[in-house]
Structure 1
Amino acid sequence: MSTQSARDIERPESQDHPASSDGFVRGLSEAIGGPLGGHAVPPEDRPNRFWTAARIVLALTCLTLALHWVQKSPCQDGDWQKNIQYTRFCYTDVLALYYAEGLNQGKVPYRDHAVEYPVVTGYFMGVLGLPVHALGQEYPGINQGKWFYNVNAVVLCALAVATAAVLLALRRRRPWDAAIFALSPILFVTATVNWDFLAIGLAMFGLYAWARRRPALAGILLGLGGAAKLWPLFILGPILVLGLRSARLRAAFTAIGTAAAAWAIANLPVFLAYRESWNRFFELNTERPVDWGTLWYVGRYLDGKWNTGTPGDQGPFQWLSDHVPALNWVTYALFGLSCLAITVVCMLAPRRPRVAQVAFLVVAAFLIFSKVWSQQYVLWLLPLVVLARPRWGAVIAWTVAEIGYFTAFYAELLGAGGKPVIPEGTFVLAAALRLITVAVLCGFVVREMWRPERDAVRSTYADDPDGGPLDGAPDAPWVAQLRRPKSERPATPPEMPVPA
């Protein structure tokens, strides 16, 4: 037995129980009798049991999404009088943009109207929106906006359920980790605010394909995800860096190559036929000023508080807000430096970090330093945090901060009409707490990369269940040499004297 690897001796059917392994859950479990006893029969070992952990998690996901639909129902008819979309927290871009993008008039995205989103999202809007418009032409009495929202909600919620299924498939020995996603208030309030689950679903399918050692398919899915929202392409960076550490670059380059091809093929029709419409997404993101709730918004508020009132006395955040091109370069530079720092940690960590850990850090760094952080962007981090650090305590603290920001944001939207609902400082505090909790989660992930014995996932799996071609791979020789203390490195042999 001693000669067998950890992979050989793992029980494939064994499952983690959070009440035993997670300190926060263990503390809560004391209210109902404590963790599962040593002589108890684990639920997964009971025969003829219908309600397995996976089925419970999927049912909880469906329940959360059903409640989300109910919560959004006051806005579905499009009659948004007296700011009902803000007072009832039911605003959704899906319904608003059905009219703003001209879909209610039968306009074809990009051909007749320059859609503000990447092409796969635009295709999605057209594929669902144009039939609804045609139906409205045939039956004038129907509420087209309501139909459009509900058709989109069905598809987006199906993608959310599929995301939960992927989390379960990637964590067969830790199925209750996916309950963090299924029960999340974040999912409850933001699932259909925008079309983000289109990109999230493609990104998660891509991660699953990578974990199943199908790098070409993984690249195609991540490339299509990047053509829906840009961030799934960021996952290719961790794959490349970890492939470099383990000398498995062929698989990494395959994924990157197919992702580039899939992204290009998805974009090519619009790029060639409607270049100006295709450019709209990039122009909008270049021109957009500082958005609510971002690091730059918080900094600008503090600049105003610390301003001495001297004419021309302007803080750095206010100056950047007034000079958007310079702000763009600063955000790019900070994100690039963050990626460089993450790469250094990946190379010097005692063990090769897990793909999900690095992906979470990269996406979180992008959000922290971005000048735009829309309310639904939090969904990008939710499945990644489940895979990267499935610890309930820190995730709950982050969720509380996110929900606090969500409510403060709607109060700020109401106040934009001229009647303040909360002090500006309260909104800034909520935004700062959101930033801080995301940064703290990043700190916890880095700590577990540096001290892998504290990694909950590695307490169940031998290496990286999401690693695919990297799972179980040893470090490249040059990485081992790089990490070796200088005093332990072999001395350079002296040069042989040249014969006279």
Structure 2
Amino acid sequence: MSRSPSREDPLARLATTWLGGPIGRHARIGVSRWTPLAVAFLVTTALFVIGIVEKAPCHGQGWPRDNYAFSHLCYTDVPYLYRERGFAQGGIAYLDRGDYPPLEYPVLTGAVMQVTAWVTQTFESADAVAASVLFNDLTVVVLFGFALLTAWALSRTTPHRPYDAMFFAAAPTLALAGTINWDLVAVALTTCALLTWSKSRPFATGVLLGLGAAAKFYPLFLLGPLLVLALRSGKLRLWGVTLLSAVAAWMVVNLPLLLLAQDSWAAFWSFNADRAGDFGSIWYVLGLAGHPVSMVNAASLGLFALACVGIAWLGLFAPRRPRLAQLVFLTVAAFVLVNKVYSPQYVLWLLPLVALARPRWRDWSVWQAGELIYWVAIWLHLAGALVPAADGTPDRFYWLAVGVRIAATVYLCVMVIRDILAPATDVVREGGLIDDPAGGPFDHAADAGRLRRWFGAERPGRAPVGEGATP
């Protein structure tokens, strides 16, 4: 039976006051045509419409190459990349070279861009600006489809909590950042991978993760939490199937271009390896403050490695085995916290993970508020609107916005860690009655061998007495 948000979440209960309060315990839930999925689709659509309206000033101007897009808070990479990466000239991504930089995106993202460019060119517009606007419009339609796919996968991953998809669908950052870049492609594939794992389909999970990594590198981070939980539950064979299928899917997409256009294929990797501390990161702020870090790659990777060790320790030694979504969220959150750059659309990576790991409206609202503050600050920073008058004072408001964003993400991490250490506080587990609905083969699995003796797990999927389980 699905859970009613107005019954269990204090903020949702408060928000329904004007409607007469939370739904009654004897109400008939699930008989209306307005199913949780239908509501999630409707809200996702509304958010995308809001995002289109928000970018309307730039749309009308054709996204000029000046501060207009920054100062009007309507920037997106999409039309600029059409004009500046060879698509406007009829070039094929990666294979054709001309008087423009190579495409610095993973292959599957480049394929989505190329197909959309071909559709754009069927209208035979000789005006590159007009064509780039049409390319943007078609891309919005494509990304909208991936957003709906994400909402669908979320509603199916935890069947007893289908309304948790609203944490993705109703996010204001979905409206503002959803069409800045093509990240929703990888987000949808990653969410579908979590869905297939929840159905105990490791091969399909691996294929989806491999395709996701061919669109954006971060989906491969899911293999770490899967390995930790496989070690704890003694299901390494399933993890091996997932790993091999992920590598195979990634190779199928990448190998042709690796053989035909190695230099163009490597542009994504060299671009990220050579990148210094950039917008949104703590490294960028340190540089602005006069304390640049010379070895940003080593520092960023080192901190991420330390975070991964800590997450692995938590996954192996917590009194009760953590849920998969909790470890996945912590891993991806750790990466965006210490990475060399934090583009505004990276918030999309975390949206479905928050819905699965910590579906609490209060915590979600705190986090979204921090992201919104940063979203406004980055565009005004790029427009030069936050720099104080001519005295040359540093843009400390932007520094503060970065700190607020980081603090909001850390807050969410702390709440997820608390749920791991005290499972009775985890609303998904409902006080210990449910184990890991998204865990697939991990759900209700006992700790393996020696781990079982270490952790004292006497019954599969149950917390130790005193942590929310029935003795």
Q: Normalization by structure 2: what TM-score? A: 0.90
Residue identity matched to 2:137: N
- 1:424 paired with 2:411, answer no
Give deviations 1:251-305, integer Å, cap 9, x for gaps: 1110111001111121111111111111111111111111122121233445x3x
Kindly state the Cα deviation for residue 462 of structure 1 after the two structures are TM-superposed: 1.8
Aligned to 1:332: 301
- Aligned partners of 1:457, 1:98: CA distance in 2, in Å? 43
Q: What corresponds to 1:347 in structure 2?
A: 316
Q: Does 1:132 align with 2:120?
A: yes
Partner Cα distance (1:246, 1:391) in 2: 28
* Offset of residue 88 of structure 1: 2.4
Match among 88, 98, 103 for residue 87 of structure 2: 103
CA distance in 1, matches of 2:128, 2:322: 57
Instruction: Give the letter for the 1:462 counterpart.
Output: I
Match of 1:58 in 2: 41
Q: 1:391 to 1:347 in 2, by over 3 A?
A: same
Percent same amino acid among aligned pairs? Answer: 38
Q: For 1:331 and 1:391, how far apart are their aligned partners in 2? A: 30
Partner letter of residue 99 of structure 1?
R
Contact 1:111 1:274 (8 Å CA) reproduced: yes
Residue 254 (structure 1) aligned to one of 214, 221, 241: 241
User: What secondary structure does 1:405 align onto?
Assistant: helix
- Per the TM alignment, residue 171 of structure 1 is displaced from its structure 2 partner at its CA by 2.6
The more displaced of 335-344 and 68-77 is 68-77
Unmatched 5+ stretches in structure 2? 458-471
TM-score by length of structure 1 reads 0.85
Q: What is the alpha-carbon distance in structure 1 between the residues aligned to residue 346 and residue 404 of structure 2?
A: 16
Give the match for residue 266 of structure 1.
Answer: 253
Which residue is 1:450 aligned to? Answer: 421
Structure 1 residue 28, shift from structure 2 partner = 3.5
Match of 1:185 among 172, 184, 201: 172
Change (3 A) 1:207 1:418: same
Contact 1:202 1:221 in 2 (8 A): yes
Which residue is equivalent to 2:8?
A: 21
Structure-2 separation of matches of 1:192 and 1:234: 23
Q: 1:43 aligns with which of 19, 29, 40?
A: 29
Between stretches 281-290 and 127-136, larger displacement belongs to 127-136
Q: CA deviation at 1:64?
A: 0.9
> What is the rounded CA distance, in whole Å, between the counterparts of 1:127 and 1:426 in structure 2?
41
The question of whether the paired residues in 1 share the 8 Å contact of 2:94 and 2:257 is answered with yes
How far apart are the structure 1 equivalents of 2:78 and 2:280?
22
Distance 1:129 1:365, change over 3 A: same
User: How far apart are 1:420 and its partner, in Å?
Assistant: 6.5
- Deviation by residue 1:423-475 (Cα, 9 ceiling, x = unmatched): 61111111101001101101111110111111111118621111112112111
Change (3 A) 1:253 1:110: same
- Match for residue 464 of structure 1? 436
CA contact (8 A) 2:63 2:69 kept: no
Alpha-carbon offset, residue 416 of structure 1: 7.8
Q: CA deviation at 1:35?
A: 2.4
The runs of 4+ residues in structure 1 deviating greater than 4 Å are 139-142, 416-423
The structure 2 residue matched to 1:437, chosen from 408, 417, 420, is 408
Find the partner of 2:221 among 225, 234, 259. Answer: 234
**Counterparts of 2:448 and 2:396 in 1: how far apart (Å)?**
51
Q: 1:99 to 1:420 in 2, by over 3 A?
A: farther
Give distance in 1, aligned partners of 2:420 and 2:273. Answer: 34
Counterparts of 1:135-214 in structure 2 under 5 Å? 135-136=123-124, 143-214=130-201
SS at match of 1:267: helix
| Aligned partner letter, 2:70 | Y
Residues of 2 paired with 1:266 and 1:104: CA distance?
24
Deviation at 1:26, TM superposition (A): 2.6
Deviation at 1:82, TM superposition (A): 6.4
Equivalence for 1:381: 350
1:69 aligns with 2:52: yes
Moved more, 454-463 or 274-283: 454-463
Task: State the secondary structure of the residue aligned to 1:76.
Answer: helix
Secondary structure, in 3 states, of the residue corresponding to 2:104? coil
| 3-state DSSP of counterpart to 2:124 | helix
Shift of 1:227: 0.8
Which of these residues, 470, 477, 481, is aligned with residue 453 of structure 2?
481
Can you list the C-alpha shifts for 1:281-336, whole angstroms capped at 9, x where unaligned? Answer: 1111111111122121233445x3xxxxxxxxxx4xx2x1xx2xx21011111111
Following the alignment from structure 1 to structure 2, what is the Cα–Cα distance between the partners of residues 147 and 178?
30
Tell me how many residue pairs correspond in the alignment. 449
The one-letter amino acid paired with 2:439 is G
Q: Residue by residue, what CA displacement relative to the aligned partner does 1:128-147 show, whole Å, maximum 9, x if unpaired?
A: 1134235326x769921122
Q: CA RMSD in A?
A: 2.2
* Secondary structure, aligned partner of 1:105: coil
Between structure 1 and structure 2, the one with the greater Rg is 1
